[in-house]
Amino acid sequence: MFSLATVAFLTLLSTSGHASMCPDTNGMSDEVRQTFVNKHNAYRTLVAKGEAKNAKEIGGYAPKAARMLKVTYDCAIEENTMNFAKKCVFAHNSYSESNNWGQNLYMTSILNQNKTVAAAESVDLWFDELQQNGVPYDNVMTMAVFNRGVGHYTQVVWQWSNKIGCAVEWCSDMTFVACEYDSAGNYMGMPIYEVGNPCTNNEDCKCTNCVCSRDEALCIAP
Protein backbone atom coordinates (compact mmCIF):
# COMPACT_ATOMS: atom_id res chain seq x y z
CA MET A 1 0.00 0.00 0.00
CA PHE A 2 1.30 3.48 -0.87
CA SER A 3 1.65 5.96 1.95
CA LEU A 4 0.37 9.50 1.53
CA ALA A 5 3.99 10.64 1.30
CA THR A 6 4.65 8.18 -1.53
CA VAL A 7 1.54 9.28 -3.42
CA ALA A 8 2.52 12.92 -3.00
CA PHE A 9 6.03 12.16 -4.25
CA LEU A 10 4.72 10.32 -7.30
CA THR A 11 2.34 13.17 -8.06
CA LEU A 12 5.19 15.64 -7.85
CA LEU A 13 7.29 13.53 -10.21
CA SER A 14 4.45 13.27 -12.68
CA THR A 15 3.80 16.99 -12.63
CA SER A 16 7.44 18.02 -12.95
CA GLY A 17 8.08 15.44 -15.63
CA HIS A 18 5.66 17.15 -18.00
CA ALA A 19 6.75 20.71 -17.25
CA SER A 20 8.33 22.50 -20.18
CA MET A 21 9.57 25.98 -20.93
CA CYS A 22 7.71 25.89 -24.25
CA PRO A 23 5.29 23.51 -25.99
CA ASP A 24 7.50 20.50 -26.71
CA THR A 25 6.25 19.76 -30.21
CA ASN A 26 9.17 20.87 -32.35
CA GLY A 27 12.05 18.61 -31.36
CA MET A 28 13.45 21.06 -28.83
CA SER A 29 13.93 20.19 -25.17
CA ASP A 30 14.35 22.34 -22.08
CA GLU A 31 17.94 21.12 -21.83
CA VAL A 32 18.68 22.54 -25.27
CA ARG A 33 16.82 25.78 -24.54
CA GLN A 34 18.62 26.25 -21.24
CA THR A 35 21.97 25.59 -22.91
CA PHE A 36 21.34 28.49 -25.27
CA VAL A 37 20.36 30.75 -22.37
CA ASN A 38 23.24 29.72 -20.12
CA LYS A 39 25.82 30.11 -22.87
CA HIS A 40 24.59 33.58 -23.81
CA ASN A 41 24.52 34.76 -20.20
CA ALA A 42 27.93 33.28 -19.37
CA TYR A 43 29.48 35.19 -22.24
CA ARG A 44 27.58 38.37 -21.40
CA THR A 45 28.92 38.09 -17.85
CA LEU A 46 32.45 37.55 -19.17
CA VAL A 47 32.18 40.73 -21.24
CA ALA A 48 30.52 42.75 -18.47
CA LYS A 49 33.35 41.91 -16.08
CA GLY A 50 36.00 42.85 -18.63
CA GLU A 51 37.32 39.30 -18.91
CA ALA A 52 36.65 38.64 -22.61
CA LYS A 53 39.87 38.60 -24.63
CA ASN A 54 39.98 40.84 -27.68
CA ALA A 55 41.87 39.98 -30.87
CA LYS A 56 45.67 40.03 -30.57
CA GLU A 57 46.05 42.82 -33.12
CA ILE A 58 43.87 45.06 -30.93
CA GLY A 59 45.08 43.68 -27.62
CA GLY A 60 43.66 43.53 -24.15
CA TYR A 61 40.04 42.76 -23.43
CA ALA A 62 36.68 43.95 -24.65
CA PRO A 63 35.57 46.89 -22.48
CA LYS A 64 33.43 46.25 -19.41
CA ALA A 65 29.65 46.58 -19.73
CA ALA A 66 27.81 48.93 -17.38
CA ARG A 67 24.27 47.67 -17.86
CA MET A 68 24.37 44.37 -19.73
CA LEU A 69 20.92 42.74 -19.67
CA LYS A 70 20.48 39.09 -18.74
CA VAL A 71 18.99 36.92 -21.48
CA THR A 72 15.71 35.06 -21.02
CA TYR A 73 14.02 32.54 -23.30
CA ASP A 74 10.94 33.44 -25.35
CA CYS A 75 8.66 30.75 -26.78
CA ALA A 76 7.07 32.98 -29.42
CA ILE A 77 10.51 33.76 -30.80
CA GLU A 78 11.36 30.06 -30.75
CA GLU A 79 8.26 29.23 -32.79
CA ASN A 80 9.22 31.75 -35.45
CA THR A 81 12.83 30.56 -35.46
CA MET A 82 11.78 26.92 -35.76
CA ASN A 83 9.49 27.65 -38.70
CA PHE A 84 12.47 29.28 -40.41
CA ALA A 85 14.95 26.52 -39.52
CA LYS A 86 12.68 23.77 -40.84
CA LYS A 87 13.22 25.15 -44.35
CA CYS A 88 16.84 23.94 -44.04
CA VAL A 89 18.21 26.88 -46.01
CA PHE A 90 21.45 28.25 -44.58
CA ALA A 91 20.77 31.91 -45.29
CA HIS A 92 19.33 34.75 -43.26
CA ASN A 93 15.66 35.48 -43.74
CA SER A 94 14.29 38.99 -44.21
CA TYR A 95 13.63 41.30 -41.27
CA SER A 96 9.91 41.07 -41.93
CA GLU A 97 10.02 37.27 -41.77
CA SER A 98 11.85 37.46 -38.45
CA ASN A 99 9.56 40.19 -37.05
CA ASN A 100 12.50 42.61 -37.15
CA TRP A 101 14.38 40.46 -34.64
CA GLY A 102 18.10 39.83 -34.90
CA GLN A 103 19.35 36.45 -36.10
CA ASN A 104 22.45 34.27 -35.76
CA LEU A 105 23.00 31.09 -37.81
CA TYR A 106 25.29 28.07 -37.49
CA MET A 107 25.62 24.81 -39.37
CA THR A 108 27.73 21.69 -39.22
CA SER A 109 28.05 18.86 -41.71
CA ILE A 110 27.67 16.44 -38.80
CA LEU A 111 24.25 14.93 -39.40
CA ASN A 112 21.85 14.59 -36.48
CA GLN A 113 24.34 16.17 -34.10
CA ASN A 114 23.28 16.03 -30.46
CA LYS A 115 21.12 19.12 -30.08
CA THR A 116 22.58 20.17 -26.73
CA VAL A 117 26.08 19.92 -28.21
CA ALA A 118 24.98 21.89 -31.27
CA ALA A 119 23.50 24.60 -29.05
CA ALA A 120 26.71 24.96 -27.07
CA GLU A 121 29.01 24.85 -30.10
CA SER A 122 27.02 27.42 -32.03
CA VAL A 123 27.18 30.07 -29.29
CA ASP A 124 30.86 29.28 -28.67
CA LEU A 125 31.60 29.83 -32.36
CA TRP A 126 29.63 33.09 -32.50
CA PHE A 127 31.38 34.48 -29.44
CA ASP A 128 34.82 33.37 -30.67
CA GLU A 129 34.65 36.08 -33.33
CA LEU A 130 35.75 38.54 -30.63
CA GLN A 131 39.08 36.84 -30.06
CA GLN A 132 39.55 36.03 -33.74
CA ASN A 133 38.65 39.40 -35.26
CA GLY A 134 38.23 41.90 -32.43
CA VAL A 135 36.24 45.04 -31.70
CA PRO A 136 37.63 48.58 -31.21
CA TYR A 137 37.85 50.15 -27.78
CA ASP A 138 35.11 52.68 -28.54
CA ASN A 139 32.75 49.69 -28.85
CA VAL A 140 30.59 51.34 -31.53
CA MET A 141 29.08 49.32 -34.36
CA THR A 142 30.08 50.61 -37.78
CA MET A 143 30.31 48.95 -41.18
CA ALA A 144 34.07 48.75 -40.70
CA VAL A 145 33.54 46.88 -37.43
CA PHE A 146 30.85 44.63 -38.93
CA ASN A 147 33.09 43.83 -41.89
CA ARG A 148 35.76 42.55 -39.52
CA GLY A 149 33.54 39.49 -39.17
CA VAL A 150 32.19 40.04 -35.66
CA GLY A 151 28.47 40.35 -36.36
CA HIS A 152 27.55 37.11 -34.60
CA TYR A 153 29.57 38.08 -31.52
CA THR A 154 28.07 41.56 -31.37
CA GLN A 155 24.55 40.11 -31.57
CA VAL A 156 25.30 37.68 -28.72
CA VAL A 157 26.38 40.55 -26.44
CA TRP A 158 24.19 43.36 -27.80
CA GLN A 159 23.07 44.93 -24.55
CA TRP A 160 19.40 45.36 -25.41
CA SER A 161 18.87 41.91 -27.00
CA ASN A 162 17.63 40.24 -23.84
CA LYS A 163 15.03 37.83 -25.27
CA ILE A 164 16.04 34.87 -27.43
CA GLY A 165 14.38 31.92 -29.10
CA CYS A 166 16.39 29.23 -30.86
CA ALA A 167 16.04 26.12 -32.99
CA VAL A 168 18.17 23.09 -33.81
CA GLU A 169 17.00 21.30 -36.94
CA TRP A 170 18.29 18.03 -38.36
CA CYS A 171 18.36 18.62 -42.12
CA SER A 172 19.26 16.09 -44.80
CA ASP A 173 22.68 17.66 -45.36
CA MET A 174 23.48 19.43 -42.08
CA THR A 175 22.58 20.16 -38.50
CA PHE A 176 21.20 23.70 -38.62
CA VAL A 177 21.08 26.11 -35.66
CA ALA A 178 19.37 29.49 -35.55
CA CYS A 179 18.72 31.99 -32.76
CA GLU A 180 16.60 35.11 -33.04
CA TYR A 181 16.89 38.11 -30.74
CA ASP A 182 14.47 40.73 -29.43
CA SER A 183 15.35 43.46 -29.75
CA ALA A 184 17.62 43.17 -32.76
CA GLY A 185 21.25 44.19 -32.52
CA ASN A 186 23.95 45.44 -34.88
CA TYR A 187 22.54 48.90 -35.54
CA MET A 188 25.08 51.15 -37.23
CA GLY A 189 26.37 54.03 -35.11
CA MET A 190 25.17 52.52 -31.84
CA PRO A 191 27.30 51.11 -29.02
CA ILE A 192 27.36 47.33 -28.81
CA TYR A 193 26.69 47.93 -25.12
CA GLU A 194 27.17 50.79 -22.67
CA VAL A 195 30.76 50.78 -21.45
CA GLY A 196 31.50 51.12 -17.73
CA ASN A 197 31.82 49.21 -14.50
CA PRO A 198 29.04 46.63 -14.10
CA CYS A 199 26.13 47.21 -11.75
CA THR A 200 26.46 46.86 -7.99
CA ASN A 201 22.87 47.87 -7.15
CA ASN A 202 19.51 48.08 -8.89
CA GLU A 203 19.81 51.81 -9.52
CA ASP A 204 22.92 51.22 -11.62
CA CYS A 205 20.82 49.37 -14.19
CA LYS A 206 18.87 52.54 -15.03
CA CYS A 207 15.82 50.66 -16.26
CA THR A 208 12.40 50.41 -14.64
CA ASN A 209 12.15 47.58 -12.08
CA CYS A 210 15.42 46.02 -13.22
CA VAL A 211 17.39 44.01 -10.67
CA CYS A 212 21.18 43.93 -10.51
CA SER A 213 22.69 40.46 -10.29
CA ARG A 214 26.09 41.41 -8.84
CA ASP A 215 27.62 37.95 -9.15
CA GLU A 216 26.73 37.80 -12.83
CA ALA A 217 27.38 41.52 -13.46
CA LEU A 218 24.06 41.56 -15.33
CA CYS A 219 20.83 43.53 -15.05
CA ILE A 220 17.64 41.47 -14.98
CA ALA A 221 14.72 43.14 -16.73
CA PRO A 222 11.18 42.47 -15.38
Tens-digit pLDDT profile for residues 48-95 = 999 999 999 999 999 999 999 999 999 999 999 999 999 999 999 876
Looking at the chain, the whole-number percentage of residues with pLDDT higher than 90 is 85
**Helix/strand/coil for 124:** helix
The C-alpha atoms of residue 200 and residue 161 are separated, in whole angstroms, by: 21
Q: What contacts 209, CB < 8 A, 6 or more positions away?
A: 221, 222
The C-alpha atoms of residue 144 and residue 167 are separated, in whole angstroms, by: 30
Give the single-character DSSP code of 208: T
Band (3; pLDDT cuts 50, 70, 90): very low
CATH architecture of the region 25-220: 3-Layer(aba) Sandwich (3.40)
Q: Do residues 39 and 124 make contact, with C-beta atoms less than 8 angstroms apart? A: yes
Q: What is the pLDDT of residue 2?
A: 35
* Pick from 179, 139, 183, 140: nearest CA to 161: 183
Q: Do residues 163 and 78 make contact, with C-beta atoms less than 8 angstroms apart? A: no
In our burial notation (b when 16+ CB lie closer than 10 A, e otherwise), range 99-113 reads eebbbbbbbeeeeeb
Residue 174: pLDDT over 70: yes
Residue 209: pLDDT over 70: yes
Query: So where are the chain's domains?
Result: 25-220
Q: Do residues 207 and 67 make contact, with C-beta atoms less than 8 angstroms apart? A: yes
Summarize pLDDT for 94-123 with one digit per residue, the tens: 766 777 899 999 999 999 999 999 999 999
Q: What contacts 15, CB < 8 A, 6 or more positions away?
A: none
Summarize pLDDT for 13-46 with one digit per residue, the tens: 333 344 589 986 678 999 999 999 999 999 999 9
The C-alpha atoms of residue 106 and residue 163 are separated, in whole angstroms, by: 19
Percent of the chain as helix, strand, coil, to the nearest 5: 35, 15, 50
Residue 191: pLDDT over 50: yes
